[in-house]
Amino acid sequence: MRRGATHSAARAERGFGLIETMIVVVIVLFMSIVIFTVMSTSEKQKRTTNSVSDADQEGNYAALVLEKAIRSAGSGFRQGMATAYGCPLNVAINGVQWLPMANGVGDLPAVFQQLNTDVKGSYEVAPVLIDYHGSLVQAPRTSDALIVMSGTAGFGEYPVTFVAPPTTTQTTGNLTLTSTAGFNANDMLLILQPTAGGLMSACALSEVAGTGTWPVDAKGLPQNGGVTPLLPLAGDYYTQGSPGISFQLSSLSTTSQVMDLGNELTDGHPNFQLYAVASSANGNTDINDTINTTLWSYDLLQVKATAASTQATSVADGVYEMYAVYGVSANPTCTAPAGCPITSWESPNSPNWNITTLMSKTAAANAALYQIKAIRLALVMRAALPEQQTSAGTPAVPPQTISIFNNLEPAGGSAAPITQTLTGNYRYRTIEITIPVRNNLF
């Protein structure tokens, strides 16, 4: 056998040497570092993309819910706005007083107990009100709250006057009206008692009876003895008068009016909602800045509930702050040719447009409620997860400065841009939209 062949076979039997092995280890280690770095970067990018995408989706949904509510605000009672707007609302559920609330805002879910103390659990009929800094968030953060009211009857939205005072018992009653067209069993009614000056001294929620026989005429319309239309009352929202409620059906007269707000048992029920921003679940008041915040709603009328509840409903996560201003028209009647264009944007903290002034039960306050033609709404959204800190321990995302309400046209009102610096290490998005209060546009 040749000597060269023998030498090659011997080397093949020995395998890799130490130097060769070390080279392989270094290459594998280098590749591992590269792969880990790529995966880590990819994971950070994926985390950021998903968090921002989720915040965008939640923000769009929250804006959609609020837009739908505000666009419908005032339906069901707008035609009676001359007397209905600003009316102090009295509500009893199964004969137990609910509004005004006996303990003020203390009867509300925890996330709504930051509402302006001037509200005191008493609410007046109005399409939309902004409660300045009425949300429960941790200082230095601030956030407004909204009160939005609408009916959904679609019929009988004009006030119907009484022909005679009501007849009542503890569990049932009868209204004798000029017409009962458009009213149905279990419809929820807004009953108004005017004062000599035309404003409403009080108003109350009641309900059309769901069972029983109604006297009818030849056309099938309810009649009282075949002479005047009769509307029987009973149900969850009927009350002759409850302790703490100044409104008594037995005290109504032929100057009283009734409006149909919608039906208790269907999706066409009235929506009198509170909206506010607060933290955590189930009304928990833990508002530490490290906890992502949520937009909450609360049904003031507790429709379809057997008793009043203090459980709020989560609308959308990631809503860090919410702000709103009023779009106001100086033309009080919206008549042609001028119509009712927005002539100024007003802050809910200004003397003429704060919630205390708008709920003052005066003719001027009622006129101001009708002048509100739009709401400019801003939502500040925050990603649910913080960004990973850098190797030096500094925030991966520095504190972010945002500015909203910068381009309000026309200028000249009390509303001003809001600029603030937000907590670092999070990604933020802002959503700003103008929502018409359609029922105030004519």
pLDDT digits (tens, 9 = 90+) for 198-247: 566 678 888 998 655 555 656 555 555 445 577 888 888 887 765 555 66
Are 188 and 321 within one domain? Answer: no
Query: Could you tell me which residues come within 8 angstroms of residue 355 by beta carbon, excluding any fewer than 6 positions away?
Result: 116, 118, 119, 129, 130, 131, 132, 134, 348
> Mean of the pLDDT values across residues 152-175?
76
Q: Is residue 74 part of a domain?
A: yes
Are 165 and 219 within one domain? Answer: yes
Q: Is residue 369 part of a domain?
A: yes
Whole-number Å distance between alpha carbons of 356 and 92:
24
Say if CB 275 and CB 148 are below 8 A apart: yes
Q: Give the range of the structural domain holding residue 257, as residue numbers without chain letter.
A: 160-263
Tokens read off for 15: 């395998």
Are 256 and 313 within one domain? Answer: no
Cα torsion 80, 81, 86, 92: sign:
positive
> Mean of the pLDDT values across residues 31-59?
73
Are 303 and 233 within one domain? Answer: no
Are 259 and 275 within one domain? Answer: no
pLDDT tens for 128-138 read: 999 999 988 87
Tokens read off for 47: 């985390």
Q: Is residue 204 part of a domain?
A: yes
Residue 64, pLDDT > 90, answer: yes
Of 263, 297, 315, the last residue of a domain is 263
Residue 283, pLDDT > 50, answer: no
Of 245, 263, 281, the last residue of a domain is 263
Q: Is residue 9 part of a domain?
A: no
**How many Cβ atoms from other residues are within 10 Å of residue 71's Cβ?**
17
Number of domains comprising the chain? 2
Are 190 and 253 within one domain? Answer: yes
Among all chains, which residue has been given the structure tokens 């009102």? 413
> What is the share, in percent, of the chain residues with pLDDT greater than 90?
25
Phi-psi label, residue 231: left if phi above 0, alpha if psi -120 to 50, beta otherwise: beta
> Mean of the pLDDT values across residues 69-88?
85
pLDDT tens for 307-335 read: 667 788 899 998 999 999 999 998 767 76
Are 120 and 251 within one domain? Answer: no
Q: Is residue 7 part of a domain?
A: no
Are 118 and 193 within one domain? Answer: no
Q: Is residue 12 part of a domain?
A: no
Whole-number Å distance between alpha carbons of 344 and 113:
31
Are 106 and 242 within one domain? Answer: no
Are 252 and 289 within one domain? Answer: no
Of 215, 248, 263, the last residue of a domain is 263
Q: Is residue 165 part of a domain?
A: yes
With vertex at residue 419, the alpha carbon angle to CA 395 and CA 409, rounded to the nearest 5 degrees, is 140
User: Phi and psi (nearest 5°) for 272?
Assistant: -110, 100
> Mean of the pLDDT values across residues 92-107?
82
Q: Is residue 136 part of a domain?
A: yes
Are 430 and 286 within one domain? Answer: yes
Mean pLDDT of the chain: 80
Picking from 69, 258, 280, the residue whose alpha carbon sits closest to that of residue 158 is 258
Picking from 168, 170, 162, the residue whose alpha carbon sits closest to that of residue 192 is 162
Are 341 and 431 within one domain? Answer: yes
Whole-number Å distance between alpha carbons of 360 and 220:
43
pTM: 0.83
Residue 175, pLDDT > 80, answer: yes
Whole-number Å distance between alpha carbons of 159 and 82:
11
Alpha helices (H) along 96-188: none
